[in-house]
């Protein structure tokens, strides 16, 4: 394919939406995009350990096929030529679905439906990314995979469990990566790494090949550097299959349209009160909520401090957590190869029977009805359209969180990290981590926006408005420090 003009920028630095425009207009090729991604992976992955598998030969072959199809006049897909990374828990044909450990050894016979939809849209699967075993913890460290590091400061964790995906996207190795969220695992690493990460409404994205992900808790979704890229990917992957246990009704508009639309005047409630009692947010996170509340007010929204009166989600969350880990562990080919900590989690969850899981999900539905009064209104308190909170409690910790101790020790370290995220997995509400800047420690800061069940479109519109108003931090070419605000 002949270019109409030379490529003037490193394609690895472009968001997916810009990359598609360049490729489909003839200013670059899918092969160019893949080579830029592979070159960045070769240079940056050794210091970060974001990828577990790099599919270089397969990606080059897919790019050549895409270039040939475009040259032949075939219509390009919405992700034509975009290199995308996939979390280890998601099936990619020919790759072992490791779930972050060594319990499986047979390569997947087919792509999961999410990956198949990405391919049909023209995406190029570039590799698979690290996670803690079964995604149990908000730190991406495992016996098999070692430690994954934050590209902003390699002595710190990128969070988890989608930490490999977050590190890959933040370091510019790919513009988009697929993660999963069962208690904050898209939002937490997005907050740690300066990315946009939207956990969708429960059932928005198919859980194929499994009927559910950690029962009612889990969902799949992208981590991106822009709101538009997140919307672009969600419009490709959203929708259900018959075997999905949970299904969300279709929204009234495309997510891309929502990301480009003015949100209108919204009533936005803010609070820094934690769901988990006794957890104190870092000062940087409190300041970020106050600053964004002020920005939103300047943008014309009705912004008020509220008391969310959060209920305790423990009785609904814990059985589903244990049940989810046990379900995935039972499906492993080699249970004896699981990490000692994971086997301990399995034993500690032996009390979680199928009937207990069903009762936990029913408790979650009752809790969701109560929690969503934040949006419908309490007696004496008007409801809001969006809730603004911190995404995480403490600042990102140094690597090595899982280097010693068992399940209880890991849970205690995780507790303050998930204090604002896990509730929304129980209730099924959409929630997004939105970057706000860089703190004095050199690491990103973020806030969380939570919407009504089924209302991702408002979160996308509002997040895009903030992106335009504030700009977001980028990494330098060296991949270590902030260079500019988008």
Annotated catalytic residue, options 52, 112, 142, 161: 161
The tokens describing 372, both together, are 């969503």
Are residues 188 and 159 in contact, defined by beta-carbon separation less than 8 angstroms?
Answer: yes
Give the chain's length: 486
Is 230 known to be catalytic?
no
Determine phi and psi for 36, rounding to 5 degrees: -65, -40
Q: What are the beta bridge partners of residue 96?
A: 107
Residue 479 exposed, middle or buried by CB count within 10 Å (0-12, 13-18, 19+):
buried
Compute the distance between CA of residue 383 and CA of residue 236 in angstroms, rounded to an integer: 32
Is 17 known to be catalytic?
no
Is 190 known to be catalytic?
no
The tokens describing 22, both together, are 């360049």
* Number of neighbours of residue 335 by Cβ within 10 angstroms: 13
Counting Cα atoms < 13 Å in the Cβ hemisphere of 321 gives 21
What is the torsional sign of CA 117, 458, 139, 213?
negative
Compute the distance between CA of residue 121 and CA of residue 79 in angstroms, rounded to an integer: 5
For residue 325, give Cα distances in angstroms to 161, 225, 236, 248: 13, 30, 28, 24
Element holding 303 (H helix, E strand): strand 302-305
Annotated catalytic residue, options 112, 142, 185, 461: 185
Annotated catalytic residue, options 37, 87, 112, 162: 87
The verdict on whether omega for the bond into residue 159 sits within 30 degrees of 0, i.e. cis, is: no
Give all strands (DSSP E) within 314-424, no chain letters. Answer: 386-390
User: Furthest-apart CA pair in the chain: how many Å?
Assistant: 65
Determine phi and psi for 317, rounding to 5 degrees: -75, -50
For residue 111, give Cα distances in angstroms to 56, 90, 298, 325: 17, 8, 46, 22
Collapse the DSSP code of 265 into the 3-class scheme (helix H, G, I; strand E, B; otherwise coil) and give the result: coil
The structure tokens 């450990």 sit at 101
The tokens describing 188, both together, are 């937490």
Kindly list the catalytic residues: 87, 161, 185
């Amino acid at each position: 394919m002949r270019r109409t003009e030379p490529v003037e920028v490193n394609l690895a630095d472009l968001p997916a939406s810009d990359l598609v425009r360049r490729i489909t207009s003839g200013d670059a090729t899918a092969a160019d995009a893949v080579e830029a991604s592979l070159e960045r992976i070769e240079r940056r992955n050794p210091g970060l350990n974001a990828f577990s598998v790099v599919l270089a030969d397969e990606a080059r072959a897919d790019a050549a096929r895409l270039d040939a199809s475009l040259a032949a006049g075939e219509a390009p897909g919405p992700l034509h030529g975009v290199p995308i990374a996939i979390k280890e828990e998601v099936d990619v044909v020919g790759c072992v679905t490791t779930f972050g450990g060594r319990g499986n050894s047979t390569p997947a016979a087919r792509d999961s439906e999410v990956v198949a939809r990405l391919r049909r849209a023209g995406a190029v699967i570039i590799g698979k990314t690290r996670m803690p075993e079964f995604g149990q913890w908000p730190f991406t460290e495992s016996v098999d995979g070692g430690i994954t590091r934050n590209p902003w400061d390699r002595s710190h964790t990128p969070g988890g469990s989608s930490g490999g995906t977050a590190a890959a996207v933040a370091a510019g190795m790919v513009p988009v990566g697929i993660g999963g969220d069962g208690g904050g695992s898209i939002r937490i690493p997005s907050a740690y790494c300066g990315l946009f990460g939207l956990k969708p409404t429960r059932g928005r994205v198919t859980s194929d090949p499994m009927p559910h992900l950690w029962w009612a808790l889990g969902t799949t979704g992208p981590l991106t550097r822009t709101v538009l890229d997140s919307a672009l990917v969600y419009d490709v992957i959203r929708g259900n299959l018959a075997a999905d246990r949970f299904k969300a009704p279709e929204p009234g508009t495309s997510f891309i349209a929502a990301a480009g639309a003015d949100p209108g005047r919204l009533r936005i409630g803010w609070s820094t009160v934690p769901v988990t009692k006794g957890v104190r947010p870092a000062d940087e996170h409190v300041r970020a909520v106050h600053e964004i509340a002020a920005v939103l007010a300047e943008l014309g929204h009705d912004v008020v401090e509220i008391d969310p009166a959060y209920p305790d989600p423990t009785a609904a969350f814990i059985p589903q957590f244990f049940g989810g880990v046990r379900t995935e562990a039972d499906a492993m080919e080699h249970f004896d190869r699981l990490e000692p900590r994971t086997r301990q989690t399995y034993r500690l969850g032996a009390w979680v029977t199928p009937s207990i899981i069903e009762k936990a999900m029913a408790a979650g539905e009752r809790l969701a009805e109560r929690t969503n009064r934040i949006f419908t209104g309490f007696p004496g308190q008007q409801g809001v359209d969006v809730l603004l909170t911190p995404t995480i409690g403490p600042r990102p910790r140094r690597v090595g969180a899982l280097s010693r101790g068992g399940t209880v020790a890991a849970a205690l370290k995780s507790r303050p990290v998930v204090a604002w995220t896990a509730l929304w997995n129980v209730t099924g509400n959409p929630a997004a981590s939105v970057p706000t800047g860089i703190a004095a420690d050199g690491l990103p800061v973020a806030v969380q926006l939570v919407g009504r069940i089924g209302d991702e479109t408002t979160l996308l519109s509002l997040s895009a408005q903030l992106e335009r108003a504030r700009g977001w931090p980028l990494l330098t070419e060296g991949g270590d420090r902030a260079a500019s605000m988008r």
